[in-house]
Amino acid sequence: MSNTSKISAIALDRILGKLSTIHSLVKGFYLSSILFFLAIILLPSILGILIRVDTLSELSENPQLFDRAINAIIASFALASFVSLLDLVTGIPLAWLIVKKGGRLVMILDAIVDLPMIIPTVTLGFSVLLFWSESNPFTSLGFSGISPGWLTVLLLHYTFSYPVVVRVLVGKLMEIDETYEIAGRTLGGKPLTVARTINIPLAKIGIITAYLLAFARSLSETGATMMVAGLFENGPIFIKRALSEGWESPLVFTSLTLISVAVIIFFLLRSLGPKVRIPFRRANPNFEGLLSKDSFCLFRDSISLLILTIFIVIPSIYLSLITLPNAINSGLILDVFQFGGVWGEYWNSLLISYVIGFIVTGINTVFSLPMAILIAREKFGSRISKILDVLSNVSIMIPSVALGVSIRFFWGGFTGLPEFWLIVMSHLCITYPYMVSTMVSAIRDIPKELEESARTLGSDPYTSFRKVTLPLAKYSFLSGMILTLARSVDETGATLAVSKTVKTVPIIIVDWVKDESLRIYAGLGATFLLLFSLIILLLLRKLVGRGKYA
């Protein structure tokens, strides 16, 4: 950094520091973040649903449709609850491996975990279906494949929600001061005992956040689930099928019920979860000593990597794996780099996707950070913080098909707004909760006394936050950025709802998937999207996560 840049940075810090001492200005800063949330995130998400409340009379006139709706809602919550719990049980060991091992290979592994979040949802669903179907790679071992139905839906939801849990937990575990572990081991604690009695309790809020984000993600997914559902119906699939049958009331009833029940679940877990004591019982030194041995740790890590490979990575990239050899043999792969025809459109759409993704990540970072501080530090009181905490997650509880309809209704009236910015607005809606939730989780666990100590030494609020809080929360900050960027790049439904001419890369790939003659293009397009995204995610880790992968 040049001397001029350093002087400018110091001057800016001083200005922001002085501004942070003006109470009315700070209050206006927080109020602007609430206004942004209400106008740009919450209202567009639910308005299109609320204005159709009058259609609910259809359900009272059709008991069979009502029964289908109830069964679909129950299936949604049962599926989301089980998948999220499975994500936690299998995700914690992998997150622990990533945090504790370190090194460049681990940084690559950490990026690979995120790949299912980059793949367009419909393409992911099709890839998972191919992997587990009758033409699966395990036929030689006597595995006959799985027909579309509840089991393929469960496997699919596990594939796309698992990375969310690992991403949040990695960020949370990276923030825990290793001094606590060293103290525990110095006092004779076995590694597992130390992890169970120190690390897990300190990461408790992060664990709750990871569960809730995975729960909401499973609750709302439509496009990918349609590819593998068969006769199975959960809330989003029921809405999609009912709309195709000409019924609007299921969209309203099912969406509002899912939102209402999910809000209650979120509120209870956010309120009561932090009060649950961990560990639940006293340690068993002999048993935990046995499980802390290097041989068992190697076994645990091997199982975690095996689960990641078989259930997450290979199903996600299976379409690429089976189409890439044909593309190479036919010479089609050479056409990719000619930047003309369909591939010219592909590269243009890839650029658009990442430009939108970075814009959305930047805007969400600016506006979600004050909201996260407001919620975590209860700036406007405990009650308002709890309400905002729950409401900030509403947009990812709504089935994506209903969210697309609502977003189209809200932003469709802005005919003068270019489609590019309509896409940005819709993606802000969908990705906002990821950044807020991860930052709230991080800031809540940082003692207020650290900031107060800095202020007693003469530091202003801005400087104490920048020098104390932000460095401690930067890995959750990185996790939020990755989740936001990945979710924006792979978003399909909302993009289709608001744009007809501007095409992002998921739209191009989904069009190819639907056309059987172009599926080799879809596999090849998904391959280059994965490779490009892997490079971007590695660079992001290198820039923001410096120090933890050494």
Strands (E), 123-245: none
N-terminal to C-terminal alpha carbon distance within the chain: 23
**Burial per residue of 363-384, b for 16 or more beta-carbon CB atoms within 10 angstroms, e otherwise:** bbeebbbbbbbbbbbeebeeee
What is the pLDDT confidence band of residue 358, given thresholds at 50, 70 and 90?
Answer: very high
Instruction: Say what the pLDDT of residue 36 is.
Output: 95
Q: Is the pLDDT of residue 498 over 60?
A: yes
Instruction: Say what the pLDDT of residue 136 is.
Output: 62
What is the pLDDT confidence band of residue 120, given thresholds at 50, 70 and 90?
Answer: confident
Residue pLDDT, tens place only, 253-292:
999 999 999 999 998 888 887 777 766 556 667 777 777 7
Length of the chain: 550
Instruction: Say what the pLDDT of residue 440 is.
Output: 92
User: 53 φ, ψ to 5°?
Assistant: -60, -30
Longest dimension (CA), the chain: 74
Distance between alpha carbon 348 and the CA centroid of its chain, in Å? 25
Q: Is the pLDDT of residue 296 over 80?
A: yes
- CATH number for the domain running over 22-52+80-544: 1.10.3720.10
What is the pLDDT confidence band of residue 135, given thresholds at 50, 70 and 90?
Answer: low
- Tell me which residue has tokens 């572990």: 181
- Helix ranges (DSSP H) in 175-293: 178-186, 191-194, 200-202, 204-220, 223-228, 235-244, 249-272, 285-291
pTM value? 0.88
Dist CA 81 CA 211 (whole Å): 9
Residue pLDDT, tens place only, 54-99:
888 888 888 888 999 999 999 999 999 999 999 999 999 999 999 9
- SS3 category, 52: coil
Percent with pLDDT over 70 in the chain: 93
Residue pLDDT, tens place only, 211-234:
999 999 999 888 889 889 988 999
